[in-house]
Structure 1
Amino acid sequence: MTHSETHSEVVETDAGAARITWHPAKQARAVLAVSHGAGGGIEARDLRAIAATLPAHGVTVALVEQPWRVAGKKVAPAPKTLDTGWRGVWPALAKPGLPVLAGGRSAGARVACRTAAELGAAAVLALSFPLHPPGRPEKSRADELLGAGVPTLVVQGGNDPFGKPAEFPRSTAYELVEIPFGDHSFAVPKRAGIGQEDAVKRITDAVVAWTGAPGMLST
């Protein structure tokens, strides 16, 4: 896919104007819609890598910027408002008539989990799911993850202060892939046994394998 094939559109929602940047596959079999977290935008390393990789595997990637980011605000609004923004872009995501996989990193992953069943998402991709606030494991958000109601892939850094892989509840409701030594943004320290490029490739490899699994997009 060449850069000229990417395009953006602004979508009006009840939370304000959102923006979708499309990275189309030539012969798409699904749309993977991914939104950002509360502390950054679609320039996050994992989102960029997924957008660059998945179209070659038949999955159109739609990077979604929530209205607060489009408006230039520094602080994310309440979860309810994030859900409103996500709901508002859904018709545009579903317009191609393909199965839509709802995804996001951090706060965006929570939004995808909370709204998946309601919106008819085929699956959920949760990147750096914030299982709890740093240092507050008692404030678990596991119910959001477990309540997604659709096939779910969690990709989590081994050193994520918002929830290390071992802290996640054992459940058949989701699959978890660990990125060794990765923090909440999947950055890996120099002492790690893998380099940054390898860490990012492990993310994209996991997502490619997940979206290509037999029966994954048959529902």
Structure 2
Amino acid sequence: MSELDEIAGVTHEPDGRPTGVVMLTHGAGGNRESPLLIRICDEWASRGWLAVRYNLPYRRRRPKGPPSGSASGDRDGIVDALTLARSLADGPVIAGGHSYGGRQTSMVVVENPNLADVLTPFSYPLHPPGKPDRLRTEHFSGITIPAVFTHGTADPFGTIDELREAVTLIPSLVQIVEVTGARHDLGSKKLDVPALAVDAALSALR
């Protein structure tokens, strides 16, 4: 592992030359040390990819607490990370994140579709818990790259059925990786969530 200071990133390096680059960021209350991100990056590295987990700009400013400042500033940080990804290795770039990080990344690839080849949100926060009428899908029709949503069936930020309906707005190829019984943290004692998510992303890339 090594540090990428310009994006407060940590790399997970494969054996040999990388197939491509994966850039993942964290949820609203988290940081790059999220156990989920670590496990997913380990999985990607084991498949021959260079995987990077990085902090969003608000998290670089202060170590704890919810997002502060404007979300557009966080999206600028994602643009910086994905731009950097193209210089780290040849091959495709896979972009995503957990919850807030995945949502902001999905907005970035609408505005900058050339920065990534596959979008991989984890626990997309479809709506605030208990407020299903406040959907965060207004940009979905602009997503033009393949997208793989990994989502727990007990996630309070959106049911699987709500997600299935929402992704019909996306004109590109979409897959949903269902994690039975998992909540927003995607914890599962029965399923290998990183392996399932990586398998789906690789099939979307093909």
Per the TM superposition, whether the score is higher than 0.5 is yes
- Select which of 26, 49, 52 maps to 1:62: 52
Partners of 2:85 and 2:148 lie apart in 1 by 20
> Is residue 23–residue 82 contact of structure 2 (8 Å, CA) maintained in 1?
no
2:102 counterpart SS class: helix
Q: Structure 2 length as normaliser, TM-score?
A: 0.86
Q: Structure 1 length as normaliser, TM-score?
A: 0.81
Does residue 151 (structure 1) correspond to residue 146 (structure 2)? The answer is yes
1:44 shift after superposition: 2.1
If each structure's helix is expressed as a fraction of its own residues, which one has the higher value?
A: 2
Q: Runs of 4 or more off by more than 6 Å in structure 1?
A: none
1:186 shift after superposition: 1.5
> Is residue 128–residue 185 contact of structure 1 (8 Å, CA) maintained in 2?
yes
1:30 shift after superposition: 1.4
Does residue 180 (structure 1) correspond to residue 170 (structure 2)? The answer is no
- Residue in structure 2 matched with residue 84 of structure 1 by the alignment: 76
Q: What does 1:9-158 correspond to in 2, within 5 Å?
A: 9-11=4-6, 18-25=7-14, 26-73=16-63, 74-77=65-68, 78-95=70-87, 96-117=89-110, 118-120=112-114, 121-158=116-153
* Alpha carbons of structure 1 residues 157 and 125: separation in structure 2 relative to 1, 3 Å: same
1:119 shift after superposition: 4.9
Partners of 1:119 and 1:71 lie apart in 2 by 28
Farther-moved stretch of structure 1 (128-137 vs 78-87): 78-87
Deviations 1:169-216 (A, max 9, x none): 15264211111111111235xxxxxx2xx34x1x21222212432x71
> Is residue 131–residue 162 contact of structure 1 (8 Å, CA) maintained in 2?
yes
Structure 1 gaps of 5+ residues are 1-5, 12-17, 189-194
- Residue in structure 2 matched with residue 163 of structure 1 by the alignment: 158
- Residue in structure 2 matched with residue 212 of structure 1 by the alignment: 202
The letter of the residue matching 1:99 is P
What fraction of aligned residue pairs are identical, expressed as a percent? 23
> Is residue 113–residue 147 contact of structure 1 (8 Å, CA) maintained in 2?
no
Partners of 1:21 and 1:48 lie apart in 2 by 10
1:122 shift after superposition: 0.3
* Alpha carbons of structure 1 residues 207 and 216: separation in structure 2 relative to 1, 3 Å: same
Partners of 1:137 and 1:8 lie apart in 2 by 39
The letter of the residue matching 1:83 is R
> Is residue 44–residue 185 contact of structure 1 (8 Å, CA) maintained in 2?
no
After superposition, the CA RMSD in angstroms is 1.9
Partners of 2:101 and 2:46 lie apart in 1 by 24
1:142 counterpart SS class: coil
Aligned length: 195
The letter of the residue matching 1:178 is E
